Amino acid sequence: MGVAAPDTPYPNLGLQMFSIRNLVSSLGFQAVFQELADIGFKDVEFAGYTSPASPGLTIAGLRGLLDANGLRAVGAHQNLNAVLGLNGAAAQMQEFENARTLGMTHVGSGALFPSMLPSNTVSDIQRIAEQYNTAGAAAATMGLKVYGHNHDGEFAFTTDNPARRKYDVLVENITHPNAVIEMDIYWAYVGAARFPGFNPPDYVVSRPQRFALFHVKDGNVVPGGTGSQILEFGQGNIPFRAFFDAVGARSYHYPLWEQDTAPNTPAALGGAAGAARRSYDNMHAVRTLTWLDELGQMIASFAGAGRLNMRVAASLEDRRIRAAVLVESGSETRATAYLEQLIARANNQIRGDADDIMIRSLIVAASQQIVAWLAEAEDRENKL
């Protein structure tokens, strides 16, 4: 955040439509999109483009429904063989054209390795990486990126080199800028429990441009991985705040809520829609806290580089810390008051040349965004 605006964490929250697949099937896309917009979601990742409750809906019609509800499609889980071109150029081009019509920037799959290729040895994975690179080059001609999505098994070791993880080989050999990876955070932590020796955010920190999308999936990960359970966001033990503190400001990314088990949510708890709403609220809180963390890192970075007076930095940091403590306790109104004090102090105390003005603008803009999110959270609580 202290470098330039494009390095700030992506502000929108989205979801993978698989989480509410039962609602898509029973209610259709229009009703579901209206519900998602009411909750606050801005981005969607498709899990298919059809619904029995929306007969005859075309791809262009689906785009119209997105636009009408203020939503944006950022990706889709389609057949990986088709996306990578393994089913032929025509099938791949159809995937790309559908993605373009829907306004997507990415098109991918819920799998990481294509089903028609072996994926056990180092050379197997290297060949798969080349398929991603070739598909990325084709996607680039249409302004798109292709991607795959992990589960836990991809973190196992190759059969011919027990020191080499399958995931590592793939990540290291995907080199085309239009071939990326969607990290499912829950499955990455399950993979770390099953095949110890890595920390999931380290992959993103080392190759930020390679990881464009994230499934923000919560769950209870147990030692050894076996018996781990997918849960609503906020009910598990995944360290999301630490994860996004580590990766948030290094590159753009799209955080997408996914809960495979959401359709099993009891009716008394609102079903899948209730799970979506509660998960959004909890994601919203984590995002607010990670931006507060980033704001602290920004202030410290400027002060450490001698670009911000230490006394001024200490004053701003005092207000930020007080606001963060209050956000953690759910006191949005009181937290807002401290952030407004921070903004006032920044405007009054950071003065001088163009660099000072730039620093002040970054600190104030980030703080104002957090204030807006706190107001949104307060409004939702009052509405409920």
| Block mean pLDDT (10 aa), the chain, length 384 | 46 94 98 97 97 97 98 97 98 98 97 96 98 98 98 98 97 98 98 98 93 96 97 97 84 90 98 98 93 93 95 98 96 96 98 94 93 91 74
Provide the whole-model pTM. 0.94
Residue with tokens 């809906």: 57
All domains of the chain in start order, with CATH = 5-264 (3.20.20.150), 292-383 (1.20.58)
User: What φ, ψ does residue 143 adopt, rounded to 5°?
Assistant: 70, 30
Are 9 and 290 within 8 A, CB to CB? Answer: yes
User: What φ, ψ does residue 165 adopt, rounded to 5°?
Assistant: -75, 145
pLDDT of residue 253: 82
pLDDT of residue 5: 41
Ranges assigned E (strand) in 26-71: 43-46
Tokens found for residue 146: 């292709």
d(C-alpha 331, C-alpha 222), whole Å: 32
d(C-alpha 280, C-alpha 283), whole Å: 5
Kindly compute the dihedral angle of the four CA atoms of residues 199, 201, 207, 209, in this order, to the nearest 10 degrees.
160
d(C-alpha 93, C-alpha 138), whole Å: 9
pLDDT of residue 372: 93
pLDDT of residue 275: 98
pLDDT of residue 36: 98
pLDDT of residue 12: 86
